[in-house]
Amino acid sequence: MVRGSLLRSVTHALLANDRYDDAASMASRAADRLDAQSLPDSALRWSLVGSLHLVGAMAAARADNAREAGAFLARARQAGQQLGHDANHAWTAFGPTNVAVHELSVAMELGDLQAASTLAPTIDARPLPVERRVRHALEVAKVYAMTGRDEDGLAVVLHAERDAPEQVKYHYLARELALLWLRRTQGRRPELDALAQRLRVA
């Protein structure tokens, strides 16, 4: 478990430093190592392997490699099916729900707004830890904003704020969305104005 968590941390660090090709390569090699090791066919193993594939999918998407991102997602989906439920083994928050959330994130990274708008309303992220739930909610709100569904997007942000106000308050994406809606919303907007004040962008 320790080695798997270390490999995952390194992959995340590469992704955070915009080394997308290196992150994708590391994710693939790390998952292969875990497959080849003596880790038993267990929930822990599938969680570690699956979460590595999700990082790889994001790295490939940010490198604009749709084919590789799709391959990573397919392997993550298989791991999620093997696991069979949402869990948080080794703090991975891995499971079928997190795979679906990453499918949306990958679609957004690749600029596939049609796929993202189809996926967004179908995902129930309640099984995920609060930080991941809020991040997903804000991404869904961004999808709605980009497809002209501002009222739906605002409703999603307000719901997320009721669930985790501090998480929303300090997230850059919440502030970006509020500023966007302020610029293009006319007429009465009490809920938006109040949100903007709470986010300190008004």
**Inter-axis angle of helices 190-199 and 150-163, to 10 degrees?**
50
What are the residue ranges of CATH 1.25.40 in the chain?
1-124
Tokens of 48: 């570690």
Tokens of 86: 């949402």
pLDDT tens per residue across span 144-163: 999 999 999 999 999 999 99
Residue with tokens 């992704």: 15
**Can you count the helices (H) and strands (E) in the chain?**
11, 0
CB–CB of 121/144 below 8 Å?
Answer: no
- Choice among 53-67, 139-153, 175-189 with the minimum mean pLDDT: 175-189
Q: Which residues contact 125 (CB under 8 A, 6 or more apart)?
A: 97, 101, 132, 133, 136, 137
Q: pLDDT at residue 116 above 60?
A: yes
Name the residue among 160, 159, 150 with its Cα closest to residue 181.
150
Q: Residue 1 has what pLDDT?
A: 55
Q: Residue 93 has what pLDDT?
A: 93
Averaged pLDDT for residues 61-65: 97
DSSP summary character for residue 120: G
Averaged pLDDT for residues 61-84: 97
pLDDT above 90: percentage of residues in the chain: 82
DSSP summary character for residue 148: T
| Banded pLDDT at 167 (limits 50, 70, 90) | very high
Q: pLDDT at residue 64 above 80?
A: yes
Tokens of 131: 């930080």
Q: Residue 8 has what pLDDT?
A: 82
Q: pLDDT at residue 189 above 80?
A: yes
For domain 1-124, give its CATH number from 1.25.40, 1.10.260, 1.25.10, 2.60.40: 1.25.40
> How does the average pLDDT of the chain come out, rounded?
92
| Banded pLDDT at 6 (limits 50, 70, 90) | confident
